[in-house]
Structure 1
Amino acid sequence: MARAHTRTGDLSAAMDELTRAREAAPQWLRHQNGAAETMQEILGKRKRTLPTEMREMADYLGVIG
């Protein structure tokens, strides 16, 4: 769902999905390539400075952007 939201430009909803997944299964999410790829897409679509929430999630997933 997060990737679908990202691709339709709803980055807020995408972050909500990633946050819910992290809350439900933090160790599982950390090892999901799809989550990292989605976060990379989110970072690529941001035009302004990243909010704290996005920086923390990118850091958590090991995504550099």
Structure 2
Amino acid sequence: MDVARAHARTGDLTAAMDELTGVRRASPQWLQHQHVAAETMQEILKKRKRTLTAEMRDMASYLGVVG
């Protein structure tokens, strides 16, 4: 989660999403309860300048993030 958050904060949103997706694959139930994951996703949504990808919409929904 720290790596995903660091990528989001430096503007590398693709790498941040890759990290979140990897964690989701490895431990889906754990990820859904991580506040840091939701905060990271919120940061991705705020920084995204173009239309959200299907992967971003799916992850936001999964984490209960509205953006």
Band of TM-score, shorter chain: over 0.9
Residue identity matched to 1:6 = A
1:3 and 2:5 equivalent? Answer: yes
Instruction: Name the TM-score, length of structure 1 as normaliser.
Output: 0.98
Taking structure 2 as the reference length, what is the TM-score of the superposition?
Answer: 0.96
Percent sequence identity is 75
Q: Which runs of 5+ in 1 are unaligned?
A: none
Deviations 1:8-49 (A, max 9, x none): 110000000000000000000000000000000000001111
The residue aligned with 2:38 is 36
Gaps of 5+ in 2: none
Q: How many pairs are equivalent?
A: 65
Q: How does 1:1-65 map to 2 (within 5 A)?
A: 1-65=3-67
